[in-house]
Amino acid sequence: MSKFIQGALILLVAGLITRVLGFINRIVVARIIGEEGVGLYMMALPTLFLVITITQFGLPVAISKFVAEASAIGDQKKIKKILVVSLSVTLGLSIIFTPALLLLAPLLSQTVFTDERTIWPLIAIAPIIPIIAVSSVLRGYFQGKQNMKPAAYSQILEQVVRITLIAVMTKMFLPYGIEYAAAGAMFSSVIGELISLFYLMTMFKIKKHFKLRRKFFQSVKSGKNTFKELMSIAVPTTGSRMIGSFAGFLEPIVVAQSLAIAGITASLATKQYGELTGYALPLMMLPSFITYSLSTSLIPAISEANAAGNHKLVQYRLLQALRITFISGCLSVIALYVFAEPLMIAMYGSSSSAVFLKFMAPFFIFFYYQMPLQSVLQALNLAKAAMINSLLGSAAKIAIIFLLASREEFGIMGAALGMAVGIVLVTLLHFFTIAKKISITIEARQYFITLFAALFAGWISHLSYQYWLKALPSIMNLIGSLTVLTILFLFVLILANVIKKEELRRLPIFKNWVR
């Protein structure tokens, strides 16, 4: 099994576990602090993402790329310089932005957000910035070495710690008000990330082949060329993430202001935004752990192949990623669309957000493609093009949200439509940019069969839920129908040779079962 597939599988399993744990986390938060509390939590979160994006400065991607290239030729000195320069940059930026967020929190809550209670979640989350600054560098290093286990285990550890603490901290602060409970939920993330960082540092000490602290400042001074190389990828990558984070920062503001223009009260707007971004969007993003694992593994794999001039391998890895994304994406979209209401009831005890799920799920096949395509662009030194694509998509999203959400007949659905348009636009721009660089030959038959299999399996599983398994308790009916959907979908794909038996034999779980 290739390092690419092995690394992707490790991250996939870890991603599945962390997404499930993350959902348990969200369910706990939603049930304790309610829709309004989730709204406060989600309003503060984009501000944190913006500050973290600035602090990381796109370095995790650049580290992964250049560590992979240096490892291919065994240049340990270059790897050390990459880490030293990266840590200097991220720690320096975190020293600036952590106190900045603390000082600006009162101003942001009073003037930018329509709800002043966001001050407490903003203050509670600020200490996480320097922690993520260091951990992101270490994750980039391990990914560049194509050793995905430390990053995978650290993600699981962070989620376990967070879930262990979140119920305690939200209940502890809830008597003082919803805003304090939301802040407690935020602070549990800080502790989770801190424990995760300790694990990464321990693994780094065990796995490294050089002394990082030895002649640290000398390495910083002599790392001018390394800094330039890192910045060639980091700056446009940061630009892309800055655009996404800044759009995420503007999004709740534009939504809140637009809904106010439409005559919706601040309290109701916070509740509706919480339903859309705190309930529906996380459920639709849940399957992206598959494409995240692919995209993380793609950067070092394609960087190494591209540096060696092996363009056939670059094309093969790209087509491999596109096919896996479409198969997993179709299954996810059909499951979310067909079982929107029962999923929402099972997760949150309410089906009020199901309308967002049904509307946006078909568009999310493009979202699942977005991360792998962006990783390919970064590995091919096309990070600047990815940044421009992100800018165009984010501008379109914010403009459409303002135009539609401010109209009474659209309201919050205008915000949902703006998000969907932004996702589709960025993904298509990424794809066409790659197509100009690499010759892409897509086997249309496989994609048509996959789409047919998803629709057919969705129809049968819907009948299963409505009639055949109706006598079972609701949660068992849902699990059984989702199982029917998955098995039938995969069976059709194996029968049609879209998923080949020799591919299944390479996976440890199917090694002794597939003949």
Q: Is 159 or 266 the better-scoring residue by pLDDT?
A: 159
CA distances from 198 to 84, 118, 144, 153, 493 (A): 18, 30, 20, 12, 43
- 268: tokens are 């109701």
Token pair 């403009």: residue: 399
Alpha carbon distance 131, 92 (integer Å): 12
Query: What pTM does this model have?
Result: 0.73
In this predicted structure, the answer to whether residue 103 has a pLDDT above a threshold of 80 is yes
Q: Are 338 and 331 in contact (CB under 8 A)?
A: no
Q: 410 or 5: whose pLDDT is higher?
A: 410
Tens digits of residue pLDDT in 216-236: 556 565 667 777 878 887 788
- For the chain, the C-alpha Rg in angstroms (whole number) is 23
Helix and strand numbers, DSSP H then E, in the chain: 21, 0
* Mean pLDDT lowest among 104-113, 316-325, 386-395: 104-113
Per-residue pLDDT tens for 161-191?
A: 888 888 788 888 888 888 888 888 888 888 8
Amino acid at 211: K
- The pLDDT value given to residue 513: 46
Output the DSSP codes for 416-451.
Answer: HHHHHHHHHHHHHHHHHHHHHHS-----HHHHHHHH
What's the pLDDT at 339? 95
pLDDT at 208: 67
pLDDT at residue 358, as a whole number: 92
| Residue-level pLDDT at 77 | 80
Closest CA to 183 of 129, 127, 119: 119
